[in-house]
Amino acid sequence: MAPKRILIVEDNLMNLELATDLLEAAGYYVLHAPTAREGIDTAKTAAPDAILMDIDLPDMNGLEATRLLKADPLTRDIPVAALSAFAMKEDRDNAREAGCVGYLTKPIDTRKFAGMVAELILQGDETPCL
């Protein structure tokens, strides 16, 4: 079976490397985009199985990028999880409202991260906010 492909839209190299290592160790193939715009383009061209979206990106808020992905028939069925340190209830609600199926908090929990991503992919839009 081909590995599931995860697109990480993240501008912070340390977070990116950690998330990539954890996902690759769990058998995923990882794609990366450092800006929202590149993330949207990669989502369209590569059709990943899921997207992890940083909120604080250099060119656009990650939730705004998620809204654009959800408005496009090409990308709207790809589950998107917000990836951010902002994790107050209001932030989670905002992520849900933008179309995210879950919320992964930074700093990344190295023991749980890959499992949370697996849940996200398997359950799609029925996944509760993590």
Q: Does 39 bind Mn ion (CB under 5 A)?
A: no
If the CB atoms of residues 34 and 79 are measured against Mn ion, the closer one turns out to be: 34
The structure tokens listed for 119 are 């849940």
Residue number, 75 or 84, with CB nearest to Mn ion: 84
56 binds Mn ion (CB under 5 A): yes
Residue (of 49, 52, 65) closest to 16 by Cα position: 52
Min dist CB 56 to Mn ion, Å, is: 4
Q: Which stretch binds Mn ion (CB under 5 A): 55-63, 73-81, 107-115, 121-129?
A: 55-63
The binding site for Mn ion (CB under 5 A) comprises 11-12, 54, 56
